[in-house]
């Protein structure tokens, strides 16, 4: 005879160990993307023209370059979380699933670092 309740049998087991962190990460990064995306559209709209030199001058302003870096990093993080959910839900086989998640993490890291490097290179580049 077992005197444990059904709740005590399931506490501490299963896949619900880090689901809340993932859920909040997606929601907060989506909110940050909403704010940063709105800033980006409005900021580009306010530029006199979208010519190359005007965009370079715009990107060399510290607030714009830092905000664009935040936008790129937030996009990469949000995308990483979304792709991870898709792989976990729709890819069969443990080895393929883990391999796909690892490759996805490295790809997102590479893209984020490339974006930050590009922004910093333009922001601190030589003057015309």
Residue pLDDT, tens place only, 57-104: 999 999 999 999 999 999 999 999 999 999 999 998 999 999 999 999
**CATH 3.30.930.10 for the 21-123 domain, yes or no:** no
49-61 pLDDT, tens digit per residue, is 989 999 999 999 9
Phi and psi angles of residue 3, each rounded to the nearest 5 degrees, phi first: -100, 5
What's the rounded Cα separation, in Å, for the pair 111 and 76? 7
Average per-residue pLDDT in the chain?
90
The reported pTM is 0.82
């Amino acid at each position: 005879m077992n005197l444990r309740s059904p709740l005590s049998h399931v506490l501490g087991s299963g896949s619900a160990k880090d689901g809340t962190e993932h859920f909040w990460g997606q929601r907060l990064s989506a909110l940050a993307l909403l704010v940063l995306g709105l800033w980006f559209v409005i900021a580009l709209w306010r530029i006199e023209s979208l010519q190359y030199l005007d965009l370079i001058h715009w990107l060399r302003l510290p607030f714009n370059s830092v905000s664009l870096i935040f936008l790129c990093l937030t996009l990469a993080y949000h995308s990483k979380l979304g792709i991870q959910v898709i792989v976990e839900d729709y890819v069969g086989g443990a080895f393929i699933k883990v391999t796909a998640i690892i490759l996805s993490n490295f790809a997102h890291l590479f893209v984020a670092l490339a974006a930050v490097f590009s922004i910093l290179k333009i922001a601190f580049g030589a003057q015309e």
